[in-house]
Copies of this chain bind each other. A is one copy, B any other.
Amino acid sequence: MLIKIINPNTTWAMTRRIGDCARAVAAAGTEISAVSPSMGPASIESHYDEALSVPGLLEEVERGEGEGADGYVIACFGDPGLDAARELASGPVVGIAEAAMHAASFLGRGFSVVTTLGRTRGRAWDLAAHYGFADRCRGVRACEVPVLELDEPGSGARELITAECRAALVEDQADVIVLGCAGMADLAAEISSVLGVPVIDGVAAATKMAESLVALGLRTSTWGEFAPPPAKQYVGLLSEFAVL
């Protein structure tokens, strides 16, 4: 089984770490391909970045169909382009926020999301509501470390994130933590061991969810909304995206 993980930003160092996190949980027999698109933003920290990450993401889904991908993971916590990707893909498509929030629901009464910049909290709340978790999501907290600095030695990110997770347990009455950025994937185990509660990395969760759906023989319904997009002419810079 081939699961294609698309990191919608163009920072390959992050993409490689995402791929490693996915491979660490994949079943024997599951191949992981982790890629960044050929176009778009270096990181996703605004609605603008998110919207502009989608064309490159869709190009990779289209390419994945030729590569024989059985399922897809969108590895950005805003789940950009999820509905559009589902129209293109013949296998299931899973967002990391989506998978993480669903997983959290099996493990406790309520979760808080700990993310990077405060300005992205609105998107996390929108997704929680859209997926049905308006009540189970107890808080969305930001550590105010930019995405590409999460990994920098001097950023203090690890400590700041752990502190927000602890605050979520006490102040939000959460009993499960969801890490709100693909760049935090490698922190989940450590924070879980420090705090003694489940801490969910969306990349790992989405990988298992995509793998499970493929194993179950399930894919996106084509009854109506998510059928392949109708043929359409495209012009200008995006003319290559025309639907034939």
Interface residues in A, total, Cβ within 8 A: 97
List chain B residues, Cβ under 8 A from A68.
Answer: none
Interface string of A114-141 (1 = CB under 8 A from B): 0000111110001001111111100000
Residue among A106, A109, A130, A176 facing the most chain B CB atoms (10 A cut-off): A106
Closest-CB distance, A71 to chain B (whole angstroms): 10
Q: Knowing A10-B235, A39-B238, A40-B236 touch, does A121 contact B229 (C-beta < 8 A)?
A: no
Interface string of A29-60 (1 = CB under 8 A from B): 10000000111111101111111101110100
List chain B residues, Cβ under 8 A from A160.
Answer: none
Q: Knowing A175-B221, A223-B169, A241-B52 touch, does A45 contact B105 (C-beta < 8 A)?
A: no
* CB-CB nearest in chain B for A28: B28
Closest-CB distance, A63 to chain B (whole angstroms): 14
List chain B residues, Cβ under 8 A from A130.
Answer: 126, 129
Given B41, B47, B84, B239, which contacts A50 in the complex, CB threshold below 8 Å? Answer: B84
- Inter-chain contact A225/B103, CB cutoff 8 Å: no
